[in-house]
Structure 1
């Protein structure tokens, strides 16, 4: 094989960890959103043991709304950060 083919194929040999790190550098709010979603779900499962006399469906709906709200907030902050960097963060030529 030629060296050009080896160079192009080496880019496909990246493992999932390095891809995740690269994506986190490009869009830092995506991992924050995933971590927050996971934390809210874990908290919801923990609270499931001591939910008192609340119905299971109501508890699950509240946890789903909280997790979705966190993700929407993280996405909104990410879009806002991207817009800021695109329009106001760059020096004008």
Structure 2
């Protein structure tokens, strides 16, 4: 029940410490959306719906890429850098 006692600010800080790619993904998504909104003025003959679809796909692609890199980093850290800690934990049981 400790997760219910946690405030939103401390939960965000904890999540950022657990996975450092979360703020990278959020910042990238905000940057892409901001850039595409700024670029909307000079979209030319492109329909609004097509421009918005491109913006959504780019932002989602960046977030999924950041999540993938974060998972790969976590797996690398857990299984390549510190594999002995898991083996020690299994021997004590």
User: What TM bracket, shorter-length normalisation?
Assistant: 0.7 to 0.9
- 2:12 aligns with 20
Q: Say what the alpha-carbon RMSD is for the aligned residues.
A: 2.0
User: What's the counterpart of residue 56 of structure 1?
Assistant: 48
Q: TM-score, normalised by structure 2?
A: 0.78
How many aligned positions are there?
A: 84
Question: Secondary structure of the equivalent of 2:42?
Answer: coil
Alpha-carbon separation, structure 2, partners of 1:21 and 1:75? 17
**Equivalent of residue 73 in structure 1, options 45, 54, 65:** 65
Q: Which residue, out of 17, 30, 38, partners 1:38? A: 30
Distance in 2 between the 1:44 and 1:91 partners? 43
Greater Rg, structure 1 or structure 2? 1
Gaps of 5+ in 1: 1-7
Where in structure 2 are there 5+ consecutive unaligned residues?
89-93
Q: Does residue 82 of structure 1 match 2:74?
A: yes
